[in-house]
């Protein structure tokens, strides 16, 4: 009884979005067999090929969830707030055609094939947390990227850094030449760099387009010293588009910048859309996964202790 009361208290104070959940601490639960059948591909990888994917959670979250839980992240009525991802990255993810129909990161569950990463995440609160194994349903659409969505070597952080550099140089130029009022800067300041860009581009015209070219060119030259080849390539590409503009059109240029980003994503294999059968071990490469579709979660120690019972259920599906 006390345990149930504690669970209710934790549920009432839980800060994450409410999810459509099935709970069980009992492998004899009648509904569990049907759930196992729904994620049989990922279970097969775990039981027969030792391909495991992990999610770290805090101790309090584990006490709320229990040992076995089936969740549907998209059933939440609330959106999560990304902690590390910039607003520019999230804007690009939501608006670039490459990511159309991908899992919504504002509603997704995140996991990894790197046990250490999951363990480190589980201990962010300063106490020893718990690791869950994640078993996406057979029909679940999964997104993945090398190492971490926010890793500086990945393209979205690079795009974000490009826009950040150009944005601040444009603001400085417009201020120095008294082309923009401070009141206008204050209205632009709360926006992400990518949302502010079209508003700043409007202050340029056929007369000062060469200055815009030099702004972007100077950012590209700085990137040659400090940053990645991808960033240098993107900035020179943008500078080239400005230099070749016979009649300056700010809206068209902004679309061309986004189009450059999209083309680079299409020619890269960094971001992939996969299914459960394509999950891989960390020694191949460390990956972050996310999905807004149903998954089964089983606490890792519980899984190891009851693996024979879990295998028995799986074998009799």
Q: What is the pLDDT of residues 221-272, one digit of tens each?
A: 999 998 889 999 999 999 998 988 778 899 999 999 999 999 999 999 899 9
Mean pLDDT of 302-312: 93
Q: Verify that 143 and 222 share a domain, yes or no.
A: no
95: in domain: no
Q: Verify that 248 and 202 share a domain, yes or no.
A: yes
pLDDT of residue 6: 34
User: Residues 36-85: pLDDT tens digits?
Assistant: 999 999 999 999 999 999 999 999 888 888 899 988 888 766 677 666 67
Q: Verify that 187 and 121 share a domain, yes or no.
A: no
CA-based nearest residue to 271, from 93, 44, 20: 93
Q: Verify that 120 and 166 share a domain, yes or no.
A: no
Residue with tokens 């194994």: 133
Q: Verify that 187 and 141 share a domain, yes or no.
A: no
Q: Verify that 160 and 142 share a domain, yes or no.
A: no
| Total count of domains within the chain | 2
Give every CB contact of residue 83 below 8 A, 6+ residues apart in sequence: none
Mean pLDDT of 179-202: 93
pLDDT of residue 103: 96
Q: Are 294 and 15 in contact (CB under 8 A)?
A: no
pLDDT of residue 164: 94
Q: Verify that 143 and 159 share a domain, yes or no.
A: no
pLDDT at 29 over 70: no
pLDDT at 294 over 50: yes
Q: Verify that 8 and 139 share a domain, yes or no.
A: yes
Domain interval for residue 77: 2-83+108-147+291-315
Q: Verify that 240 and 301 share a domain, yes or no.
A: no
Q: Verify that 69 and 197 share a domain, yes or no.
A: no
Q: Verify that 219 and 127 share a domain, yes or no.
A: no
Instruction: Give the confidence band of 7 by pLDDT, cuts at 50, 70, 90.
Output: very low
272: in domain: no
Positive or negative, the CA dihedral 14, 18, 19, 20 is positive
Of residues 287 and 246, more confidently modeled: 287
pLDDT at 98 over 80: yes
Instruction: Give the confidence band of 5 by pLDDT, cuts at 50, 70, 90.
Output: very low
């Amino acid at each position: 009884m006390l345990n149930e009361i504690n669970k209710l208290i934790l549920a009432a104070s839980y800060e994450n979005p409410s999810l459509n959940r099935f709970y069980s601490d009992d492998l004899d639960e009648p509904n569990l067999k049907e759930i196992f059948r729904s994620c049989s591909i990922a279970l097969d990888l775990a039981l027969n090929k030792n391909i495991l994917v992990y999610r770290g959670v805090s101790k309090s979250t584990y006490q709320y969830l229990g040992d076995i839980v089936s969740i549907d992240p998209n059933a939440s009525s609330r959106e999560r707030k990304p902690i590390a991802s910039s607003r520019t990255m999230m804007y690009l993810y939501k608006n670039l055609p490459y990511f159309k129909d991908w899992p919504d990161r504002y509603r997704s569950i995140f996991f990894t094939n790197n046990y250490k990463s999951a363990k480190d995440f589980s201990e962010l609160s300063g106490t020893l947390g718990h690791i869950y194994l994640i078993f996406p349903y057979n029909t679940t659409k999964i997104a993945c990227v090398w190492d971490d969505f926010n890793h500086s070597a990945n393209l979205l952080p690079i795009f974000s850094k490009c826009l950040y550099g150009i944005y601040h140089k444009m603001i400085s130029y417009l201020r120095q030449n008294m082309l923009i009022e401070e009141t206008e800067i204050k209205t632009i300041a709360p926006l992400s760099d990518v949302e502010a860009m079209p508003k700043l581009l409007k202050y340029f015209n056929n007369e000062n387009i060469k200055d815009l070219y030099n702004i972007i060119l100077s950012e590209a030259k700085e990137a040659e010293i400090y940053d990645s080849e991808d960033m240098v390539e993107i900035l020179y590409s943008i500078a080239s588009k400005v230099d070749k503009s016979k009649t300056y059109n700010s809206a068209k240029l902004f679309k061309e910048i986004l189009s450059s980003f999209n083309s680079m994503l299409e020619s890269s294999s960094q971001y992939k859309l996969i299914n459960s059968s394509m999950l891989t071990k960390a020694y191949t490469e460390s990956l972050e996964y996310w999905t807004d579709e149903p998954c089964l979660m089983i606490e890792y120690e519980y899984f190891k202790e009851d693996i024979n019972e879990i295998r028995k259920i799986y074998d009799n599906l």
